[in-house]
Structure 1
Amino acid sequence: MADGTETTYAELRTYTESAAGGLYHLGVQPGDVVALHCPNSLGFIVAAHAVWRLGAVLSPVSLLATEDSIAAQLEDSGASMLLTVAALGETSANAAKKVGVEQVIFLDANNGLQQWFAERRTAPKVKINSASHLAALPYSSGTTALPKGVQLTHENLAMNVMQAKSMGLVKRDDVIFGVLPFFHIYGLTALVNLALATGATLVTMPRFEIDSFLGAHQRFNVTFSFIAPPIAVVLAKHPAVDNYDLSSLRALFSGAASLNADLAAAVEDRLGVHMQQGYGMTETSPMTHINIKPEYDRGAIGEAVPNTSHKLMDPETLEEIDLPDGEKLSEVGELWIQGPQVMRGYLNRPEETAATLTEDGWLRTGDLAVQNAQGHVFIVDRLKELIKYKGYQVPPAELEAALLTHQNVADSAAIGVQREGEEIPKGFVVLQPGVEATEEEKNAIMAHVADRVAPYKKIRELEFLEQIPKSATGKILRRELKIRETER
């Protein structure tokens, strides 16, 4: 832990067995859904693996969730128990009471983890079918629709760890830093399960704060960090970075959202480390592609992990797009994925499952991409978030990347807004400290973008914000920006 406390793998195994015994004594059976609302901590890891040890289903709850959204998840998932911590307050406990979940355990209370560790109860051996038995029921982020329960089996999770491990993403002697939320599938698989399966050292902290993040890297000689693009922006631009020794870092790995090549290069130039990235979804456990080879283009999500196939499909004709020749890039298409890490489907949502999973097992990601002759994939944007300006398609991510290249821009977002019966591209920026939000500054930033994109992609409006709305893993919540527009 970033606070200096240590746990060995032998202790972790003992803690997990004791916690599983405690949960079994409370009536948890194979197939029961147990919700977990807990910050990054030893307690989260122990509780999650204790649930799996019993053959029960883990449904992690976002730390950003409101009481109503937690209640909706508990009810939709059919959770019979909620594990939480008193440090988070009564929000999740109130949600549980609202929907009739009677068993609420505070892991940091006297009758929580410490009691289970002291009692050292045993749990029975459990036999399950790893290919069909659910292990996790995370809820998709809801950036384009209401959150849905994603059914992931033990085989889904185990195979995804093996896929990443076989590619050498992390090494046994790595000191890995874990600030991305464990409740998200990225953190759950990459930070928790991959680190444990590799036998690496995991240093974790509950939330991102720039000086704590950098200080922990220096103090613990961190060699490898999983981050999201917003942290990459901070590492590329924040002056505090120069105050810390990060020489132990061998690489950074960005996930949860697409990382622009220019931003990746800026981080590499400043820190002198290899900036890697990957791609995945909650529906794919999550990893499907990894770009960890220095010779690969920094803007690519890389190659498919073992036993995984992809193809690009024309969204309208559903015809496959061929690989290009030479140095060219392919036409834009929707990325489809097939592999052992693909979900079983959405819980109690047969129509949405059918719209996402084809009969022959391909997952339609909803992401638009291009690929080169080697099959390396570059994400262009979300299919449903494209801006349509005078019939032309404008990817918001391209505008956001162009905005970030301006020296006075600390963060950015872009959406389409309706003006006089047509959709136009609108940008939102957070300015660097000390920069005044003037009309002159606005015009300068818009001109900067216009010099870097096709004429039809130019930003037609720009607004200054204090903060860009994002999910816990760094995805821009463009839907919230669109709601702001409609409410004006």
Structure 2
Amino acid sequence: MPVPADRPHLTHWPKRLPPDLVLPETSLWFNLEASAQRYPDRAAYLFFGHPLTFRELHRQAEALAGWLQAQGVGKGDRVALFLQNCPQFIVAFYAVVRANAVVVPVNPMNRVDEFGHYITDPDTKVVITSADLAAIVAEADARLPEAQRLRATVVTRYGDYLGDEAAADPALAPPPSIDAWLRASPALPAGCTPLAEALAAGLAPSPHTAGPDDMALLPYTSGTTGLPKGCIHTHRTLMANVVGGSLWGFASAETVSLGVVPFFHITGMLYGVLSPVWSGATVVILPRWDRDLAGRLISHHRVSHWTCIPTMIIDLFASPNYRSFDLSSLRYLSGGGAAMPQAVAERLQTEFGLTFAEGYGLTETAAPSHANPPERAKLQCLGMPIFGVDARVVDPVTFEELPVGEVGEIVTNGPMVFKGYWKHPGATEAAFIELPAVPGQKFFRTGDLGRMDDEGYFFITDRLKRMINASGYKVWPSEVELLMYRHPAVAEACIIGTQDAYRGETVKAVIVLRQEARGQTTEQDILDWAREHMAAYKAPKIVEFVEALPKSGTGKVMWRLLQDKERERRESAGR
């Protein structure tokens, strides 16, 4: 059969894979039920040597689901998970979907000023969090009107899943600083319910009724204006990449993966929470990045699969101990969020025989819509459209499809594309377009500028949307600006990106101070305040004071002008 002209990648499609998938007509919960029956005593997760089997994961998720329903959590209600990577995150996720409810994953780096949005916007009923973050939840909740407050907060200590004694094998022991954090037991705010108490209640949940087209996940992402918006994902949209991602990456019940990409992030969610439970794989959990610990865990557990961001590979290579790590078990190395430098990719191939298969996706596409087949990967390339995906490059103004090699906006249609933005019908409508060549099909506007080569592989060239990419973390300037305006000394603020040798990009704040603060407030004062009031990856690393911000005739801040000047300044400095 001839390959369609608009799908040239099919000429190079891996022969081991079908171009389209037949998806299960079941919920994500059924994946755990099946694996708990098939592999009851296999470790689903390993936490510093301590296993959580599929049987025990299933039992705890059922118990917590019963408790959640007893608190009034009903079908379609939202439950927020505010945790670092840990076994409790997995228990909580599957408990929520077992209760027919919706998971709202929240970045644990958020501060009080930010967290309230994740209660009010999704109408969250319950938050499941850790002891070190419980005070943030309590304070954010207390600031809200009584009608908007949480029904319950469930709290866990990370150390509860470590046992009473340190790991017998030194290779599995976290560094003292991480161990102290994991075992910390701060006083809990009044009214919190310990996770152990909720599990011990022994409450059985009502029947599971969620179907493939019910909402399962509401992860938040930001646009160019306003606060973060929830992306509506159903069991079906997630299942597309659960099944597809497993097939693409050779995953099976024999797979052992390293779960270090944050579970709250759509990539970590897919490869650390969803796909492994589908395939019956084992995930070695690393709650915080530590290059030497990662190397030891890969060596000890014979990790076969690692999804990461390139800065992790760079950092691992920078360790003076990296030659002592045995990486010979790795057979599938993938990731995205930032381009893999050519020198690092070549070193991976030369020293370890490993190909880094880059991929591309967004929260709106439940992680990948494009990926490089490991048997035919291209460097610094988004890859080809995966199962059932139709991706095009169009003129961002006229939406006319552009020929091979020309740069335009990447638009995507596929089974993993989200259903719209929560409570934002206008933004949802603006996010989708119809192309004359494909009537009746809606394509999602990624906001990324790129091109397609003659083999159907896609390459990114720039961003149409205003976004800063700091080591794979997406920073939305408008959100940071809204937070910066809370500083009593700030009259105006504009956030732009600037180059950073390690992170690729970092955050710079261009600030006009209030008149009374001039001469009294320093750049360091602003930096210190930002670190206290927002997630570390969002907080500006550079501050520049100016007399005024450039504005258009309508009074809008001309952020693009500032961004261009910053780029020119950096390029001049680099000459």
Q: Same fold (TM over 0.5)?
A: yes
Alignment deviations for residues 43-66 of structure 1 (CA, whole Å, 9 cap, x no partner): 100101110111111111101111
Distance 2:226 2:338 in 1: 17
Q: Does 1:338 align with 2:434?
A: no
Rounded to whole Å, the distance in 2 between the matches of 1:430 and 1:5 is 33
1:236: Cα distance to partner? 4.1
**1:281-292 alignment runs, 5 A limit:** 281-292=362-373
Q: Pick the aligned partner of 1:106 from 147, 155, 169.
A: 155
Offset from partner CA, 1:213-248 (integer Å, 9 cap, x none): 111111211111111122132234443322322222
Contact 1:96 1:102 in 2 (8 A): no
Alignment match, 2:522: none
Quote the Cα distance in structure 2 between the aligned partners of 1:251 and 1:199: 17
How far does residue 89 in structure 1 lie from its aligned partner after superposition? Answer: 4.4
CA distance in 1, matches of 2:284, 2:329: 14
Pairing partner for 2:251 from 147, 170, 175: 170
What is the correspondence of 1:4-153 to structure 2 with a 5 Å cutoff? 4-99=49-144, 100-108=149-157, 111-131=193-213, 133-140=214-221, 146-153=227-234
User: Is this contact kept in 2: 1:265–1:275, CA < 8 A?
Assistant: no
Pair 1:288–1:362, CA change in 2 (3 A): same
**1:246-285 equivalences in 2 (<5 Å):** 246-285=327-366
Q: Please give the secondary structure, in 2, of the residue aligned with 1:346.
A: coil
Query: Does 1:224 pair with 2:273?
Result: no
CA contact (8 A) 1:232 1:264 kept: no
- 3-state SS of 2:220 partner: coil
Q: CA deviation at 1:155?
A: 1.2
1:147–1:308 distance in 2 versus 1, CA, 3 Å: same
Structure 1 vs Structure 2: percent identity of aligned residues? 31
1-structure distance, mates of 2:278, 2:151: 34
Identify the match of residue 241 of structure 1 among 322, 325, 348: 322
Pick closer, same or farther for the CA change 1:144–1:475 going to 2, 3 Å: farther
Paired with 2:75 and 2:497, the residues of 1 have a C-alpha distance of 50
Compared with structure 1, are the counterparts of its residues 425 and 206 closer, same or farther at alpha carbon in structure 2 (3 Å cutoff)? closer
Offset, 1:273: 1.7
The answer to whether the 8 Å contact 2:242/2:270 transfers is yes
Which of 519, 540, 543 lines up with 1:484 in the alignment? Answer: 543
Which residue is 1:313 aligned to? Answer: 394
Q: Match of 2:458?
A: 377
Q: CA deviation at 1:354?
A: 1.8
- Aligned equivalents of 2:497 and 2:102: distance in 1? 43
3-state SS of 2:208 partner: coil
Distance 1:8 1:150, change over 3 A: same
Cα distance in 1 for residues equivalent to 2:226 and 2:326: 42
TM-score by length of 2: 0.65
Change (3 A) 1:89 1:79: closer
CA distance in 2, matches of 1:22, 1:263: 48
Task: Report if aligned partners of 2:65, 2:99 keep a CA contact under 8 Å in 1.
Answer: yes
- Are 2:47 and 2:86, in contact at CA under 8 Å, matched by a contact in 1? no
Residue 116 of structure 2 aligns to a residue in which SS? helix
Q: Name the SS for the 1:384 alignment partner.
A: coil
On the 8 A contact 1:336/1:362 being kept in 2, the answer is: yes
Moved more, 62-71 or 352-361: 352-361
Residues 20 and 53 in structure 1, CA contact (< 8 A), matched pair in contact too: yes
Residue identity opposite 1:211 in structure 2: D
- Cα contact 1:2–1:216 (8 A) shared by 2: no
For 1:35 and 1:41, the matched residues in 2 are separated by: 15
Match of 1:347 among 413, 422, 432: 422
Report how many residues are paired.
409
Alpha-carbon offset, residue 276 of structure 1: 1.4
The structure 2 residue matched to 1:363, chosen from 444, 457, 465, is: 444
The CA deviation at 1:96 is 2.2
TM-fit CA distance, 1:265: 2.6
- Ranges in structure 2 where 5+ consecutive residues have no aligned partner: 1-45, 158-187, 435-440, 478-495, 504-526, 548-575
Relative distance call for 1:374 and 1:366 in structure 2 (3 A) is: same
Offset at 1:475? Answer: 12
Stretch deviating more after TM superposition (356-365 or 71-80): 356-365
Q: Which residue of 1 aligns with 2:12?
A: none
| Alignment-derived partner of residue 238 in structure 2 | 157
Q: Which piece of structure 1 moves more, 214-223 or 165-174?
A: 165-174
Partner residue of 1:409? none
**Alpha-carbon distance between aligned partners in 2 of 1:221 and 1:291, rounded to the nearest angstrom:** 24
CA distance in 1, matches of 2:223, 2:240: 25
Task: Identify if the C-alpha distance between structure 1 residues 426 and 54 changes in structure 2 by more than 3 Å, giving closer, same or farther.
Answer: closer
Deviations 1:317-366 (A, max 9, x none): 3211123xxxxxx1111111101111111111122222212254211001
Q: 1:160: Cα distance to partner?
A: 1.8
**Is the partner of 1:64 in helix, strand or coil?**
coil
Amino acid at match of 2:155: F
Equivalents in 1 of 2:274, 2:133: separation in Å? 24
SS at match of 2:50: coil
Judge which range, 226-235 or 336-345, deviates more: 226-235
* Corresponding residue number in structure 1 for 2:182: none
Contact 2:356–2:374 (Cα < 8 Å) also in 1: no
CA contact 2:71–2:151 (8 Å) conserved in 1: no
Higher relative contact order (CA 8 A, sep 6+): 2
